[in-house]
Amino acid sequence: MASKRPKSTASNKGKEKKNNAASPIESVGSAHPDNIFPMVLTSATQELFGCRADEDVTGDNPYKLLRREDIVQDMKTRAAVSDFSPVKQAVLDYPGEEMLLVFDRDFTYGQSFYLVLTVDAMERMLRPPEPETEEAQEDESEDMLMPTTPVPQPWVPLGSDKEIEDEIYRDSRPRLKYRISRLRREFGAPVVFSDRSAAETKDAFMECASYEDKSFSLREMEGSRGVQAIPDVKAASTQTKWTYPKNMCTQYEPRQLSEKEKNKCLQSKKLKNFVQSVAIRFELAIQQNEIMDVFFNDWASLSEEDGAFGGKADTHLKEYQSFTDLHHSREKTISHINWHPTITGVIAVAMTERLSFEERICGATKLVLNPSLILFWSFSDPINPQLMLECPDDVLSFEFCPSDPNIIVGGCMNGQVVLWDISAHVDRLQGTRSGGGGKNMANDTAAYQGFESKHENETPVVRYCAVSGIDSGHKAPITDIQWLPESFEVSRTGVPLENKTGICVQIVTCAPDCSVMIWDIRVPRVATHSLGEERKQKMEDRPLNNPHCAANPFKHLDLSWKPLMKVSLPKIDTSGEYSPYKFCMRHNRSDSQVATVHSERSEVPDYSLLRVPSAKQLKTMEDICTKFYVGTEDGEMVYTDWKMEKDNESGKLFSPKPSHRYIVHDGTVNTVCRSPFFEDIILTVGGWRFAIWKEGVMNGPIFLSQYSQTRCTTGCWSGSRPGVFFIGKEDGNIEVWDILEKTHEPSQVQTITTARITSIKPWIVSSKQHLLAISDHCGTLHILEIPWTLRSHSGNEKQSISKYFDKEVERLIYFEKRQEMREKEKKDKEAEEQRLKTQLPDKSMEQIEEEAHREYKDYLAMEKVILKDMGLLEDM
Amino acid sequence: MAKVEETLKRIQSQKGVQGIIIANAEGIPIKTTLDNASTVQYAGLIHQLLMKARSTVRDIDPQNDLTFLRIRSKKNEIMIAPDKDYFLIVIQNPSE
């Protein structure tokens, strides 16, 4: 009843007072009628409680805390009269000890005082600035929008603590404490144990049997748990690897002294003393080493010479393979063999007709139909040749170019020099080496032009790229042809010049027409410009006459090739010229830088771009030996120089006379071959014997074999042993000569075939395999394997051989000397005799008669005496 | 200076001698008859070996000292004579 009124007024007042309803806290605090009870307090009550209006409690200080006990006491004493009677129940229920009485000066709730009934409200009353400040703050924040960092506020519980408090276990009563004591003397009394059976006395023990306690089987149907929400937490860990820098590599430079410091050191006395004192030790040590090498392993080096102990079969040349072509070598013979310098297992042979000169002339028409060929054989295919080179005429000699194995030069029977280029077919040759044969070809020829791919299994025929002019070349069959090494080239006068191109560009040929010619494969230089232009035009207009070759690198030479220089060999003592058959030049390999740089180049040069340079541009090489040996058709050995000399009178260039000439062989010299181990040892084979020469020794051959029964047709040095060479014979035998073993006869004779041997060439495939290619007159090519005894040499074999040769040279010199001495002796003796003869006619005839008479008388007297002694003469 | 040269020339002219190097105590070459790269290599390596050899000899007997070191290899022989301030290296090929 009384509460209704203030309720409405309070609520109205509350709404008026607080303009925003956003803060429920304030509205709850002020408009809620339950928390406060407005009441009137009489002055007596006021005096009693010390809350007289305007005295104890004022407008500024309207709060007064009254003790609840006092209020209860007052109610008890004055019962219904007490002012507090209307709130009696509330006061009794009041939990706290002090109640708040607020002096309401403005009569906000209708009365002058009001009593706060709840603790919360009391609290709130007592701390009014908070709501006010909060309100003020909110106003502020709305007006200015100033963000301030949130200041942590003390936590205000809103009722959640009640739940937590319900769950907390608190002691409802203080804990009980018990104290148990026992007399001290009763501790530690001796104990006596005795046995007693449990079954005897039933009451002697108490049993506590276990039973199922129902209270422990309760199932909790509901439970209350406290939950607290927390932000997401995540636990993570990481382990870092300890990396520390450490040196990967160090680059350093050695310390070096400057020149000045070095000189200073060298001048110092200390160094002088040091060197003096130390030199003695060194000399001792060095001389010790010189005298004898104490570490030389005699036992190990002994085994080298022991290898000769093998069975007889070991020393024979074993047949490895033999090649005969059914189509092409029927009526033919092989004139020259050459191994391919780079591709192993490929060998080229030149096939020529087996006819004598008259037969050739008679059958010349037939010969034109049968083309001459050079066949390339490979080890992988013994029946079909791999490549065939077409020649204008029979080739007697051919050579691979040392700097470019795809270029082959050959000398023909009609005196022409022929050039081939097989670079298009090198793959074929190489492919067969791997043994693929037909299968590889199928892959390779797919890249070829369509024309050739049809003939997969047929041997390709390569036509020659260039051939020399018939009138400008030799007039006789070219019997020997060789490349000049790439280190130098020869000018028109024969002077050796530096070769800037680094490849072999010049060829030397010889023929029995008494000339040795030097050719150049480059575009020739012409003296006058007009001729040059004409010639250039001519060369350009001329159409390609090689339909098979796509590009002819030697187009500039074809049919117009002229020799660079011609060396003639005039006879020494008579008129006329020598007719060379074979020749041999010195292996002039100088260490020019140009040569070494160019030898590393692997690309194929374009020959048509090369030009013969002028002799003035290149520098002359001093250390090239221009002398060479020539073996002639008549069996002579001629040593001559190819450098041309100038005739002082006419100014023409002419070849000098050869310096030396020897007649050693009785037949054509068919081989002049230089030893691969010694620069100056040459083997010549001809007629029925062979000879070994040393360049520089002009007296004669240092070794001359005895005449053999059969003609020696060819010979060559072994490639691995310096003292071994092979001689081929007319009857198909091979003689193996080992100078260290026997010098009067071959160490071994082996029959290879029945026909005459025409050419022998050795080749080293690997350290285990040395092969010897032998061709015979029937046109068959035999490949033989050289046994271990003939291919491995002992360490000092070269030294022994050179010593032997030196000895032979000495012998020759001594022999000559002796000859001279003998001559001289003979001369002296003749002179003596002459003198004696001339002295005798001084005596007159009478004197001679008288002497004779006297002698006769003496004789008669002697006769008498003897007869008398013998008693035959009677004393008359 | 001339005497030093003369002595060195005498050693150099012996049969089989390939090179001579004089180096100071730190292993820096002072005079040599070989090319620079080989010299520097020889001097550096042999200096270390020399130190080791000398310390070995002296560890065994402190009164002792290294006078001469000869290294014989398959191809040649290296002879080293150490001193307080310098050392001399000679390389010889005895089988020549």
Inform me whether the pLDDT recorded for A590 exceeds 60. Answer: no
SS3 A829: helix
Q: How many residues does this entry show for chain B?
A: 96
Of the CA atoms within 13 Å of residue A611, those in its CB half-sphere come to 9
CA A684/CA A630 separation, integer angstroms: 10
**Interior CA angle at A705 toward A700 and A707, to 5°?**
115
CA A226/CA A695 separation, integer angstroms: 121
Of A274, A285, A295, the CB nearest to B83: A274
- Identify whether the C-beta of residue A424 lies closer than 8 Å to the C-beta of residue A549: yes
Check B86 against A282: CB less than 8 A apart.
no
Q: What are phi and psi for residue A62, nearest 5 degrees?
A: -85, -5
Helix (H), strand (E), coil (C) string for A681-725: EEEEEECCEEEEEECCCCCCCCEECCCCCCCEEEEEECCCCCCEE
Chain A residues touching B70 at Cβ < 8 A: 285
Inform me whether the pLDDT recorded for A391 exceeds 80. Answer: yes
Q: Is A540 at the interface with chain B, CB within 8 A?
A: no
Chain B residue closest in CA terms to A268: B1
CA A791/CA A738 separation, integer angstroms: 11
Check A274 against B85: CB less than 8 A apart.
yes
Please name which of A398, A375, A379, A363 lies closest in space to residue A327, comparing C-alpha atoms.
Answer: A375
Q: Which conformational region is residue A144 in: left (phi greater than 0), alpha (psi within -120 to 50 degrees), or beta?
A: alpha
CA B43/CA B21 separation, integer angstroms: 8
Dihedral (Cα; B79, B83, B86, B92), 10-degree rounding: -10
**Can you point out the beta strands (E) in A514-644?**
515-520, 563-568, 580-585, 627-632, 636-641
Q: Is A264 at the interface with chain B, CB within 8 A?
A: no
Taking the CA of residue B60 and the nearest CA in chain A, the distance in Å comes to 23
pLDDT at A140 (0 to 100): 53
The amino acid present at A184, given as its one-letter code, is: R
Residue located via tokens 């009593």:
A115
For chains A and B, CB pairs below 8 A equal 87
Beta bridge pairs of residue A712 = A729
Question: What are the pLDDT digits (tens) for A665-712?
Answer: 888 888 888 888 888 888 888 888 888 888 877 778 888 888 888 888
SS3 A833: helix
pLDDT at A599 (0 to 100): 44
- Identify whether the C-beta of residue A790 lies closer than 8 Å to the C-beta of residue A724: yes
CA distances to A186, A636, B2 from B29, in Å: 103, 62, 19
Mean local confidence (pLDDT), A844-850: 84
Q: Which residue has the higher pLDDT, A531 or A766?
A: A766
Taking the CA of residue A802 and the nearest CA in chain B, the distance in Å comes to 17
CA A20/CA A142 separation, integer angstroms: 13
Mean local confidence (pLDDT), A511-521: 84
Check A266 against B81: CB less than 8 A apart.
no
pLDDT at A287 (0 to 100): 87
Taking the CA of residue B59 and the nearest CA in chain A, the distance in Å comes to 24
pLDDT at B40 (0 to 100): 93
pLDDT at A600 (0 to 100): 44
pLDDT at A47 (0 to 100): 76
Of the CA atoms within 13 Å of residue A90, those in its CB half-sphere come to 18
What proportion of chain A, given as a percentage, has pLDDT over 90?
A: 4
Question: What are the pLDDT digits (tens) for A524-556?
Answer: 765 434 343 444 444 444 443 444 444 566 777
Least confident of A265-274, A592-601, B45-54: A592-601
Question: What are the pLDDT digits (tens) for A731-753?
Answer: 988 888 888 888 888 888 888 88
Mean pLDDT of chain A: 76
- Identify whether the C-beta of residue A471 lies closer than 8 Å to the C-beta of residue A381: no
Q: Is B28 at the interface with chain A, CB within 8 A?
A: yes
SS3 A503: coil
SS3 B56: helix
Check B28 against A281: CB less than 8 A apart.
no
Question: Would you say the ipTM is above 0.90?
Answer: no
pLDDT-derived band of residue A177, with 50, 70 and 90 as boundaries? very high
- Identify whether the C-beta of residue A89 lies closer than 8 Å to the C-beta of residue A3: no
Burial per residue of A123-147, b for 16 or more beta-carbon CB atoms within 10 angstroms, e otherwise: ebbeeeeebeeebeeeeeeeeeeee
Mean local confidence (pLDDT), A108-133: 71
Question: What are the pLDDT digits (tens) for A27-39?
Answer: 444 444 667 777 7
Of A255, A275, A290, the CB nearest to B28: A255
**Residue A834 exposed, middle or buried by CB count within 10 Å (0-12, 13-18, 19+):** exposed
- Identify whether the C-beta of residue A289 lies closer than 8 Å to the C-beta of residue B90: no
Taking the CA of residue B25 and the nearest CA in chain A, the distance in Å comes to 11
Q: Which residue has the higher pLDDT, A78 or A175?
A: A175
pLDDT-derived band of residue A208, with 50, 70 and 90 as boundaries? confident
The amino acid present at B20, given as its one-letter code, is: I
Helix extents (H) in A217-363: 259-267, 269-291, 298-302, 357-362
For residue A223, how many other CB atoms are within 10 A of its CB? 5
Check B4 against A281: CB less than 8 A apart.
no
Q: Is A278 at the interface with chain B, CB within 8 A?
A: yes
pLDDT at A85 (0 to 100): 74
Please name which of A461, A777, A402 lies closest in space to residue A588, comparing C-alpha atoms.
Answer: A402
**Residue A212 exposed, middle or buried by CB count within 10 Å (0-12, 13-18, 19+):** exposed
Q: Which among B90, B91, B93 is the top mutation candidate for probing chain A, defined by the most A β-carbons within 10 Å of its own β-carbon?
A: B90
Of B22, B27, B95, the CB nearest to A293: B95
pLDDT at A612 (0 to 100): 67
Q: DSSP state, A650?
A: T
CA distances to A77, A162, A381 from A95, in Å: 22, 16, 126
Question: What are the pLDDT digits (tens) for A261-287?
Answer: 888 888 888 888 899 889 989 989 888
What proportion of chain A, given as a percentage, has pLDDT over 70?
A: 80
Q: Which conformational region is residue A95 in: left (phi greater than 0), alpha (psi within -120 to 50 degrees), or beta?
A: alpha
- Identify whether the C-beta of residue B91 lies closer than 8 Å to the C-beta of residue B17: yes
For residue A625, how many other CB atoms are within 10 A of its CB? 14
Burial per residue of A388-414, b for 16 or more beta-carbon CB atoms within 10 angstroms, e otherwise: bbebbbbbbbbbbbebbbbbbbbbbbb
pLDDT-derived band of residue A610, with 50, 70 and 90 as boundaries? low
CA A494/CA A508 separation, integer angstroms: 12
Q: Which of A71-80, A89-98, A825-834 has the highest mean pLDDT?
A: A825-834
Please name which of A371, A377, A393 lies closest in space to residue A325, comparing C-alpha atoms.
Answer: A377
Q: Which among B6, B7, B39, B74 is the top mutation candidate for probing chain A, defined by the most A β-carbons within 10 Å of its own β-carbon?
A: B7
For residue A482, how many other CB atoms are within 10 A of its CB? 20
Inform me whether the pLDDT recorded for A432 exceeds 60. Answer: no
CA A434/CA A432 separation, integer angstroms: 5
Mean local confidence (pLDDT), A333-352: 85
Check B30 against A262: CB less than 8 A apart.
yes
Of B1, B14, B22, the CB nearest to A286: B14
Please name which of B73, B70, B74 lies closest in space to residue B90, comparing C-alpha atoms.
Answer: B70
Helix (H), strand (E), coil (C) string for A778-793: CCCEEEEECCHHHHCC
Least confident of A264-273, A290-299, A724-733, A836-845: A836-845
CA distances to A265, A346, A390, A421, A543 from A549, in Å: 72, 22, 13, 9, 13
Radius of gyration of chain B (CA): 14
- With a CB cutoff of 8 Å and minimum separation 6, the contacts of A564 are A490, A492, A506, A517, A518, A519, A520, A524, A612
What is the pTM assigned to this prediction?
Answer: 0.54
Mean local confidence (pLDDT), A769-798: 82
SS3 A850: helix
pLDDT-derived band of residue B61, with 50, 70 and 90 as boundaries? very high
CA A127/CA A498 separation, integer angstroms: 121
- Identify whether the C-beta of residue A862 lies closer than 8 Å to the C-beta of residue A855: no
**Alpha-carbon A556 to chain mean position:** 40
pLDDT at A843 (0 to 100): 64
Of B7, B24, B70, the CB nearest to A285: B70
pLDDT at A437 (0 to 100): 41
Please name which of A819, A808, A817 lies closest in space to residue A694, comparing C-alpha atoms.
Answer: A808
DSSP string for residues in A61-122: --EEEEEHHHHHHHHHHHGGGSTTGGGHHHHHH--SSEEEEEE-TT-TTSSSEEEE-SHHHH
pLDDT-derived band of residue A438, with 50, 70 and 90 as boundaries? very low
- Identify whether the C-beta of residue B4 lies closer than 8 Å to the C-beta of residue A275: yes
